[in-house]
Structure 1
Amino acid sequence: MRELSETRRAFHRAPELSWTEYLTTARLCEALEALGFEVQWGQTLYGLRQPSNPPDGETDRAAFDRAEQQLGAGNRYLSSMKGNRTGLVASLDGAGAGPVFGFRFDIDALPIREGGDSGHLPAREGFASEHPGIMHACGHDGHLTIGLGLARRLAASRERWGGRVHLFFQPAEEVAGGGALFADLPQLAEVERFMTLHLGILDRYRIVFDATWIAARIYDVVYRGQASHAGNAPQTGRNALLAACQAVQGLYALPRHSAGMSRVNVGRFHSDNAHNVIADEVRFRYEVRGGDNAICDFMAEAAERVLEGAAKMNAVEVERETFAEFSSYPNSRELAERVAATALGIGLPQALLQDSFQVSASEDAGFLIQKVREQGGEATHLILGSPVGGGHHSPTFDFDEELLGWGVLLFERLVMEGS
């Protein structure tokens, strides 16, 4: 347990944003190769695949330079990652025949400044973020720690299990880019049994072995009209700001769906105009969510009608571009029940087990789960619940490190029993 805690704290100190996880990836590659895993990263892993929603150039250069300063110029791992080709897949064969397992662990952090209050464990014990304005505020440092801990255990017990294991250390979950890209990797096409997990979520101690997440569609919108002087010639203007405001009101007025959970939100709105000018351009970002992909698609189509209606009412033009998508896909019930039985087998109490839970947030592991299930494999998403300080995506987020050991032992036993 001490080794897991030390690993988690080391990665917590050095968080990196989506698509800039250069230092994180390099450190993982080095550790996994030392354990005997075959590791693919960077250009070799990506091939012709391109990251979606990469950060701006300045943010990316700062992250790469920071990693290069710590690792040294010409680092063999780092040099192949230029252009946001972060993350890796580590593979290991057991001693004989058996199924192909896949485990996914996300590795990115968030643009949040970590809290410094003494009540926040990382601040109190000296492992808070050393990168200003960036923080592991969703548990991904714990996820990758479980992945590395699992790798250590599997390497040490290699003669006692059969088959193959692929460990997917995925970048860019927070911007819904890495999941879709990793779902297209050839290693995932081999996987017969796939699992992923998330720490926290429930804010109480639970192990959920059949967790589902709601689907989401996130869009960038721009309204373009005609500028004019608001006092001297208002009749010649075409007001993009008015259209955008009416659209936002219309989005929030959308009827919800009776078949399941549905959500809508506008989280960003910008109009850079003088006070006495009819606005000619307005941009905003909105999202719709649904308990499954069909409900989410219903919300997305209804939202598009609202956008077009507001444009027509004000004689302006509107463009909508997809920023990100999160898929929702049902788990394999058989595998979920096997996970529950295995949890009891390693001594976790029955009172901690929870059959299922639908999280009212989104997770891009849904793309990988869908891919494995569509190719005939089994897949499920777990939650290792615990109280989290301040909640997810907050400056005081934290989790109980005891859960790290639960995750490692549970995944290791599933491989041992499965072979």
Structure 2
Amino acid sequence: MKPTIQLNNWLVEKRRYLHKHPELSHLENETKKYITNHLHDLGIETYSITGKDVIGVIKGNHPGRTVAIRSDMDALPIEEETGLDFASVNKGVMHACGHDGHMSILLGIAKLLVSNKSSIHGTIHLLFQHAEEEVPGGAVEIVTENGLKGIDAIFGYHLWQPLETGYIGIRQGSVMAGADRFTIQILGKGGHGSMPEDTIDPTLVISHIITQLHTIVSRSVKAIDQAVISIGQLNSGTSYNVIPDSAFASGTVRYFNSETSSLIEKRIEEIITGVCHSFGATYELNYIHGDPPVINDEKLTAFIKKTATSLFGEEKVIEIDPILGSEDFAYYSHEIPASFTFIGIGKEETSFGHHHPKFDIDETMLPIGVELFTTGVLNFLKGGSNIEN
């Protein structure tokens, strides 16, 4: 079902309004009103599971299964530097990850589907989810509230700058990593830099810890498993000639199976314990389990790949490598058959990556997303997926 030129212009208009008025996670109040009003204008009934999300329901003229399509709504705490005419008017808040485009795509899907109820065999839930960027976020809240009850499968998508514009990225199985985070506080004994023998230097201790943490992936994780440990924050001291009492570091762990996550958590504490004991320091470790990996259902993803290939040609649909970024769509994928697809927007004019203050999307890919998932969902409901629940 190909979008018209009029719909393409409508998609851009909606995307630019949403880009101009971003809201942070769990605070998407005006965004939710905007989405709700547009769905009601289309004659689509809505409901909410958590009070922060909004879900439109389209019932077809024929009985059948129930499918959901998900878009996220939240923006990031970033000061925009794009210089666009429709740049954010909310200081320090920006749609720097493409969620404005995701919402406009799902609104476009709604607009096409509601005018084609005679082609719908079943029911479609249009899930505009809050707080994808936060942990815990909107998806886990929706799952906890039994929000997937009665839904047979769910589709998701991401406008993706690392993928060249015009291409669709597909992968079965583990497609996005689980993401944990941790903080380390080393407690030593401060003193003057000229008398280190009277101190327990927490800067030295945490330096040894960081060096050893980077051996976990290469020497403790199985070579066939993928994982990343990165330290993103390190604070110690306030003066050049004073050894401080404490030092602080925080980092992230990325993985594709729960066994790897558990192993890394265990090894982090073992290393910290051993290093601190050798120096006479103590520590506080806070390990926080974040979103699990996104697992694409094999049959459902093969179905989406077939749909994309029929629409755009085999050369435009590519098998992508696993992505070490995380997505809370993962919680849906651990409950029901799910498939998460990447829509390429990478080109010279949009070379800044996700979460960058100059990030922008290629708006020509908005109708591609609409066409892919409108066609895909209609075919799924007609029984083309061969998925049994």
- The AA in structure 2 aligned to 1:214 is A
Q: Which has the higher strand share?
A: 2
1:77 equivalent in structure 2 = none
* Conserved? CA contact 1:36–1:92, under 8 Å: no
* Conserved? CA contact 1:4–1:145, under 8 Å: yes
- How many Å separate the matches in 2 of 1:88 and 1:319? 40
Question: Where does structure 1 lack aligned partners over 5 or more consecutive residues?
Answer: 47-84, 118-122, 373-377
1:203 is the counterpart of 2:163: yes
1:156 to 92, 104, 115: 115
1:57 equivalent in structure 2 = none
Q: CA deviation at 1:247?
A: 1.8
Spell out, residue by residue over 1:307-326, the C-alpha distance to the aligned partner (whole angstroms, 9 max, x if none): 22233233333222244512
2:15 equivalent in structure 1 = 8
1:351 is the counterpart of 2:315: yes
1:213 is the counterpart of 2:206: no
2:353 equivalent in structure 1 = 391
Identity %: 26
2:244 equivalent in structure 1 = 279
- How many Å separate the matches in 1 of 2:128 and 2:241? 52
Matches within 5 A, 1:99-248: 99-116=65-82, 123=84, 126-178=85-137, 179-204=139-164, 205-210=166-171, 212-228=175-191, 237-248=199-210
1:40 equivalent in structure 2 = 47
Spell out, residue by residue over 1:292-351, the C-alpha distance to the aligned partner (whole angstroms, 9 max, x if none): 333343333322222222332333332222445121143222111211222244x31221
Instruction: Give the match's secondary structure for 1:5.
Output: helix
- How many Å separate the matches in 2 of 1:381 and 1:338? 12
TM-score under structure 1 normalisation? 0.79
Q: Structure 1 residues 333 and 255 mapped into 2: Cα distance closer, same or farther (>3 Å)? A: closer
- How many Å separate the matches in 1 of 2:16 and 2:284? 44
- How many Å separate the matches in 2 of 1:89 and 1:308? 48
Question: Where does structure 2 lack aligned partners over 5 or more consecutive residues?
Answer: 1-7, 383-389
* Conserved? CA contact 1:166–1:187, under 8 Å: no
1:382 is the counterpart of 2:341: yes
Q: Structure 1 residues 104 and 278 mapped into 2: Cα distance closer, same or farther (>3 Å)? A: same
- How many Å separate the matches in 2 of 1:284 and 1:146? 40
2:331 equivalent in structure 1 = 367
* Conserved? CA contact 1:290–1:299, under 8 Å: no
RMSD over aligned CA atoms reads 2.5
Q: CA deviation at 1:13?
A: 0.9
2:60 to 94, 100, 107: 94
TM-score under structure 2 normalisation? 0.84
- The AA in structure 1 aligned to 2:341 is L
- How many Å separate the matches in 2 of 1:132 and 1:316? 43
Spell out, residue by residue over 1:178-212, the C-alpha distance to the aligned partner (whole angstroms, 9 max, x if none): 23223323231322111111112433132123361
- How many Å separate the matches in 2 of 1:285 and 1:276? 24
Q: CA deviation at 1:142?
A: 0.8
- The AA in structure 1 aligned to 2:318 is Q
- How many Å separate the matches in 2 of 1:98 and 1:255? 47
Spell out, residue by residue over 1:142-167, the C-alpha distance to the aligned partner (whole angstroms, 9 max, x if none): 11111121222222222431322222
1:28 equivalent in structure 2 = 35
- How many Å separate the matches in 2 of 1:288 and 1:166? 33
Q: CA deviation at 1:382?
A: 0.5
- How many Å separate the matches in 2 of 1:26 and 1:282? 45
Aligned length: 364
- The AA in structure 2 aligned to 1:23 is E
Spell out, residue by residue over 1:129-152, the C-alpha distance to the aligned partner (whole angstroms, 9 max, x if none): 222332222211111111121222
- How many Å separate the matches in 2 of 1:24 and 1:314? 53
- The AA in structure 2 aligned to 1:111 is P
2:3 equivalent in structure 1 = none
Q: Structure 1 residues 285 and 20 mapped into 2: Cα distance closer, same or farther (>3 Å)? A: farther
* Conserved? CA contact 2:265–2:287, under 8 Å: no
1:340 equivalent in structure 2 = 305
